[in-house]
Chain A
Amino acid sequence: MPLKTGKITLTAALAGAGTLLAAISASAQTTSPTLEAVRERGELACGVIGSSFGFSLPDSQGVMQGMDADSCRAVAAAALGDANAVRWVPLVPAQRLTALQTGEVDVLFAQLTWTMSRETDSGVQMTSTNYFDGTGFLVPTALGVSSATELDGANVCSIQGPGEVTARDYFTSQGMEFTPVLFAEGEELRAAFLAGRCDVYMIDQSALISFRASLGDNAGNFTVLPEIISAEPLSGAVRKGDPLWFDIARYAHIAQVNAENLGITSENVDSFADDASPAIRRFLGMDGTLGQSLGLEPSWAHDIIAQVGNYGEMWERHFGQTGADRGANRLAGDGGLQYPYPMR
């Protein structure tokens, strides 16, 4: 008898395990633990730097503004239907990956450069690049320099840390001497450069835009050298191990780029309600199952565009008033790197 009982128990256990496995594999396709946690909490915990203009910086009312902030809002709009359901978690660069790994934040938009070792070693995965940045040189026009290769022996102002390494790598590889002049804060660095403490200011393209804007009529006294010496694809990131959540964060960005490509903006998105174009009908969730495949509402892309806007609107909102060139962040069709991957 004990043997028989044992058999029955074993069979039952096997059947139970089978059911469980089936349940797990089924749920792996349509649910995401992170999405469920976000929905239960009713807000998205988004890691940002919180002190950098154009990416994430509180305005005078304490509202977070910038490309990274809007990328957070886009994910929140997709996941919850409400772009304002974001809990901001300001992080310094050293904390960014830990905060994501430990689950303190659901998604990270913290000017994180997409590098190989970050993806292979840190247990995080880059979703998409929301800003292509790179380090360049700014010199006073009076210096009479037209290329970075003429900067032998220059005093170079840069921010401590990564900026310092980029400078050393470049000058060493060119066989040139240089004297680093390092600062912890952008404000002090800019004041020192304007006061003539250094010949050249090594600066990210994004920071260059805001610096030139702050110079007003004096901007003409400075020249940007043609060299861009480091590639900084600033990207969103999620934890590895939740593929559906990864898709949601990735396609929130791709939807913004597609919307710009299709000419859909936050202003006109509702005028497409009876549009006949299959691509637009699929995109806005009138046809097809794009939303369902992400475990989201059919209107997910509509919510992003209506509440946050398309990629171009986002760029204009944060960098447009500075009169800067969009450069690498133009759509692929205009010669940039923002590619509207097909949504079908």
Chain B
Amino acid sequence: MSRYLAATETDARPAPDRRRTLRQILIEDFFYGPGAILCTLLLCALLAIAAWKLLDWALLDAVFGPTETLDASQACRAEDTEGACWAVIGDKLRLILFGLYPYDLQWRPGLACVLMIALYALSVQRALWRPALAGIWVVFLVAVLILMRGGIAGLEPVGDDQWGGLPVTLILSTFGLGLAFPVAIALALARQQRRFPMLQAASVGVIEFARAVPLVVVLFMASVMLPLFLPADWQVSKLLRVLIAFTLFGAAYLAEVIRGGLQAIPPGQYEAASALSLTYAQSMRDVILPQALRIVIPGIVNIFIGFFKATAIVVVVGIFDLMTAAKRAVADPLWQGFGIEVYLFAGLIYFVFCFSLSRFSARLERDLARDRAS
């Protein structure tokens, strides 16, 4: 027992004061001794140099457009230009954002993006977390499809070969995960129950298959092999094939996260539901799932972020997602060599989406912790 007990007595320290002034923080954390002072000053100097260089490159010496004598590309390549060439973003913005979508109709994918972003914004409002939210999703996603495809309500039809850029990235992640979510709940429940062993085995099979095979292999199979086996007049579009692959994968990963939530629910909850003579469906819908899903929200958001970024993989089957469209912008000899600027821009878009999602997840965890505490 002795090794679990302190052998010597130490003086009790004062309780840490959480509300320190800036002055106190500086002195206590950064300037508490000669070594610390030296370190702090050195690191500050390095940071200042790096920040100055970055500012110089990104803003002060950067080219934002044509000058009086040179067009934008020449201005970027001029001898005395050392900074970033943001003019490439200006010239290629709509290519990066919307790919091959007909230029005159690009308000449609633009609006579709706004709708999908609005859908996220609505979905993170806890006040709206009720079954009606599923209806909102259906309405929004149908609207997005109509905008993108056209063909009704006087909109000119646009085939999904021509979709590209940000809407494709958003569609793959939103539709993929939106479709995957109900499938994942079914898979998780099927795997957890004990009454129908065949159903359980099937669910385990699907989940383990999807987790054991790399996504890129499935994408290749779907786009190179599958068409060879289908009848000649069965043309399943490339985007739809990829979406199905994403849904299958998303469902398998989500199902495991949700199963984790189901396991975290104390047996007493299941027993209490039975004692009230609720049916299986009732007990799941009203008692178990609301609690289980709440627990695994951070895990779900994590998978969503992962999938959002993983959509860039569709370049292997020739779909113009955001990243592919960005690469195409610098294949033009006019802008070759300005890849860093274009990659930074694409990275910024990914960052804005992923960071907002992770902030949302963090806020939610705080709220839920407070709910439990109260």
Contacts and interface: CB of A to CB of B under 8 A. Distances in A.
Interface of A: 50-53, 57-64, 87-92, 94-95, 98-99, 101-104, 185-188, 190-191, 194, 210-211, 213-214, 216-217, 322
Interface string B333-357: 1101101000000000000000000
Nearest to B159: A87
B227 A104 contact: yes
Contacts of B223: 95
Given A90-B161, A187-B330, A95 B95 contact: no
B320 interface: yes
Interface of B: 74, 77, 79, 91-92, 94-95, 98-103, 106, 159, 161-162, 164, 220, 223-225, 227-228, 230, 232, 235, 315-320, 324, 327-328, 330-334, 336-337, 339
A65 to B, nearest CB: 9
A98 B327 contact: no
Contacts of A92: 315-318
A94 B222 CA distance: 13
A214 B331 contact: no
A95 B337 CA distance: 28
Nearest to A96: B318
A101 B333 contact: no
Given A62-B98, A88-B100, A92-B316, A57 B337 contact: no
11 contacts: A57-B331, A57-B332, A60-B94, A62-B106, A87-B159, A87-B162, A90-B100, A187-B336, A191-B337, A210-B336, A322-B333
B224 A187 contact: no
Given A63-B103, A188-B339, A95 B317 contact: yes
Contact of A50 (B316, B318, B332): B318
Contact of A57 (B102, B162, B224, B328): B328
A-B pairs with the 8 shortest C-beta distances?
A214-B336, A210-B333, A102-B227, A187-B339, A214-B333, A61-B103, A213-B333, A92-B318
Nearest to B320: A90
A92 B235 CA distance: 18
Contacts of B162: 87-88
Contacts of A186: 331
Contacts of B159: 87
Contacts of A50: 100, 318, 320, 328
A322 B101 CA distance: 28
Contacts of B328: 50-51, 57-58
A94 B164 CA distance: 20
A58 B336 contact: no
Nearest to B77: A216
A53 B331 contact: yes
Contact of B333 (A53, A63, A88, A89): A53
Contacts of A89: 161, 318
A62 B99 contact: yes
A53 B332 contact: yes
